[in-house]
Structure 1
């Protein structure tokens, strides 16, 4: 976890400071565009987290791996928090840009659905007393809900949308200026490191909780192993 925690803190704080203090204002949006350094990483990593959760759910269903079920459970609260942050920062950005906090734009609506999917996973985890039954139900919902991820990504291409197409392109030239792109890549990388850090932390806690009555956990907690 330290190998993820340290880069997460350094890249996020450094990227935020870089983007807020040293990047020139956008020629159309002025300084309001600077929320991009929080909004875009939160949005992108929220989608990545869902795919991680759905993949872990599929692994659990196919190979009955308990660790995969724990990872799936560990991702859900982090992904839900990031999706809420994406919706919140999007609303804050939308007010000066579009004149309103909320519109039923294709991308905004599909991200809202993503948030509800995360909440559904969290609710299902609490609805079953049996951990295996809860894991199966969550895995099915996660896999079915994964169809929403390409809809979010391609919504600006498929339907009329207030959102502009992707500025960062892996094939072809990116449309965002390099002075704005570098801190964005820093915060995006830092957010992925943050996701990995939180998932490992949550998974470790889940393992300790499920195995709390075993000898090895008692040895770990009492320091007998050292």
Structure 2
């Protein structure tokens, strides 16, 4: 296990192995997204209270879940970078921030669109909504800190600390509907209780959640691989990749000319 852990800390090894994962993950993500979207939007039954407006759940719930899990991943990478000084953890922490911010924004916007027909307004200063907005600002704070420092070492430390401090907000978001009198409905999916959703509605939701996890993984791998090439651009192995890519482009150009 420790050998694998140390391998994962190698940017070169990660770049090579992630290149093998990407095609399969991308195919899985597209397949699940198409299946879940078509099933949820076209074939799932209409809710007897909310009508068809409830279908936004197939975007809102998956994006909200990824926003929370993505932040914990970023905070975990920050802790690893502080304790073990792993280069790859620093890269993952940086790359997870904009993707997580995007997912949080999707969650906030889809929730606002869902809130209008349900509550009669796009926004209320509800405990769940407010803590989710704070999460969005925490993501933006990590992104801004990276841009504020010219030195990567100082930027990584500052972002790791902010990520770890901000992780306190995650249980607040999750339990806010239980701790306070909230307009927001309780969690649709619970680990300790059976879901109250009808199976015909629940099954496409589970597929969409899996699809969003795969999409997040694909985006994180792509962004991380790009950042690795940028940071390791002066190393021998990256120069070999660049030369190999340039050679492939030239050969394809020659074939096209012929």
TM-score normalised per structure 1: 0.97
Counterpart for residue 9 of structure 1: 30
28-37 or 4-13, larger mean C-alpha shift: 4-13
- SS where residue 185 of structure 2 aligns? coil
2:123 maps to which of 63, 80, 102: 102
Counterpart for residue 98 of structure 2: 77
Counterpart for residue 123 of structure 1: 144
Cα distance in 1 for partners of 2:28, 2:173 equals: 28
Deviation (angstroms), 1:214:
2.1
Counterpart for residue 40 of structure 1: 61
Deviations 1:113-158 (A, max 9, x none): 0000000000001000111110000000000000000000000000
Deviation (angstroms), 1:174:
1.1
Cα distance in 2 for partners of 1:121, 1:42 equals: 19
Structure 2: which 5+ residue stretches go unaligned?
1-21, 249-258
Cα distance in 2 for partners of 1:79, 1:218 equals: 31
Counterpart for residue 50 of structure 2: 29
Cα distance in 2 for partners of 1:161, 1:144 equals: 25
Counterpart for residue 187 of structure 2: 166
2:88 maps to which of 67, 91, 114: 67
Q: Higher relative contact order at CA 8 Å, sep ≥6: structure 1 or structure 2?
A: 1
Q: Matches of residues 138-157 of structure 1 in structure 2 within 5 Å?
A: 138-157=159-178
Cα distance in 1 for partners of 2:191, 2:144 equals: 37
Cα distance in 1 for partners of 2:59, 2:121 equals: 19
1:133 maps to which of 154, 173, 181: 154
Q: Name the count of aligned residue pairs.
A: 226
- SS where residue 223 of structure 1 aligns? helix
170-179 or 19-28, larger mean C-alpha shift: 170-179
Cα distance in 1 for partners of 2:130, 2:117 equals: 19
Deviation (angstroms), 1:17:
1.0
Cα distance in 2 for partners of 1:24, 1:219 equals: 55
Deviation (angstroms), 1:206:
0.7
| RMSD (Å) for aligned C-alpha atoms | 1.3
Structure 1: which 5+ residue stretches go unaligned?
none
TM-score normalised per structure 2: 0.85
1:180 partnered with 2:201: yes
Larger radius of gyration: 2
